[in-house]
Amino acid sequence: MGIYCLVYWSIFHNTLTWIAHSWRHNSFYTHGFIIFFLCLGLLLINSAKLKTTSFQPGSALVPGIAFLIMVSFGVLLRFHYLIGLSFITGAISLNRLLVAEENKEFMQLPFWLMVIAIPLPFLNEVAGYMSYAASKTVAVIMGALFSSVEVDGISLIIPGGVAFDIDTSCSGAGSILALITIAILWLASFKDNPKITSVLIVLALPVGFFTNVLRIVFVFMVANTWGMQYAIQFWHDFAGYIFYIISLGILFISWIAIKRISKDKIRLRRLIIA
């Protein structure tokens, strides 16, 4: 794996530099370094405990083909995201080729987790659409609470001169991404049915969006009661933490409910080779 990483770096160092730069400067991906060191730690610990290896080219065929396709299109289109994904598929292919069957799951899991650390393309554009959708949803709720609400694009104004712009920082894209990241890390620690995992990750989208909408409504109400300066300086960030915890709680309760409905036992996944 060390040789593979060095070869990959020598060929695609621009892409890996782009990923590290995104982790440092993109607010959506500040968790990237945490995921990287977590996966690296799991990989090193489990690599030290490998005792047997086997050569199985058949099981490495599918990820190997995926690696070649992603590299080819990534280079052709100059698409960093595909090249980044190709690192993961190539590493998984190499693990399936060399690692014994009973240890494959332990060695592949860190690379699967790295998927959530590769910056998604067009995220800023998606956040722009989400800010517009959030402003429209907030306007509907605020319209039911106050006599009149003025809407100008992503700007909302309520009686008393309280006005906010629902820009990309308030779109909820960051909190949704963080919510999905926590959900995937949580689910990776348990043996879940793939359907349950898929449902929970999809559920994180509406949960994150609507809790963010409620956060914005809450900030508007605080501004209307105590003034905009108070709402901006204190309640804006504080409400973000509170409603993020609420969204995590909703997701956790949903996971428990889905497990009970499907009669699936809660079983921890072993992450370290015994």
Residue 103: give the domain boundaries: 2-117
Do residues 207 and 247 lie in contact, with contact meaning Cβ atoms separated by under 8 Å?
yes
Among residues 99, 117, 135, which one ends one of the domains?
117
Same domain, 109 and 186: no
Same domain, 257 and 128: yes
pLDDT tens for each residue of 68-104: 999 999 999 989 999 999 999 999 999 888 888 888 8
Q: Which two tokens stand for residue 255?
A: 């996971």
Which pTM does this prediction carry?
0.83
Q: What is the mean pLDDT of residues 62-66?
A: 92
Q: Which two tokens stand for residue 223?
A: 């501004």
Among residues 101, 117, 133, which one ends one of the domains?
117
Same domain, 211 and 111: no
Same domain, 134 and 99: no
Same domain, 227 and 247: yes
Measured between alpha carbons, how far is 146 from 138 in angstroms, rounded to an integer? Answer: 12
Same domain, 96 and 172: no
Closest residue by Cα to residue 160 from 168, 171, 149: 149
Quick one: 1 exposed, middle or buried, by C-beta within 10 A (0-12, 13-18, 19+)?
A: middle
In this model, does residue 218 exceed pLDDT 80?
Answer: yes
- The per-residue pLDDT for 236 is 67
User: Into how many domains does the chain fold?
Assistant: 2
Do residues 176 and 159 lie in contact, with contact meaning Cβ atoms separated by under 8 Å?
no
Residue 248 lies in a domain: yes
Same domain, 83 and 174: no
Same domain, 192 and 104: no
pLDDT tens for each residue of 163-201: 777 777 777 888 888 888 888 888 888 887 788 888 888
Same domain, 52 and 78: yes
Q: Which two tokens stand for residue 113?
A: 């987790």
Among residues 117, 141, 171, which one ends one of the domains?
117
More confident residue, 250 or 192: 250
Residue 105 lies in a domain: yes
Closest residue by Cα to residue 156 from 219, 212, 207, 205: 219
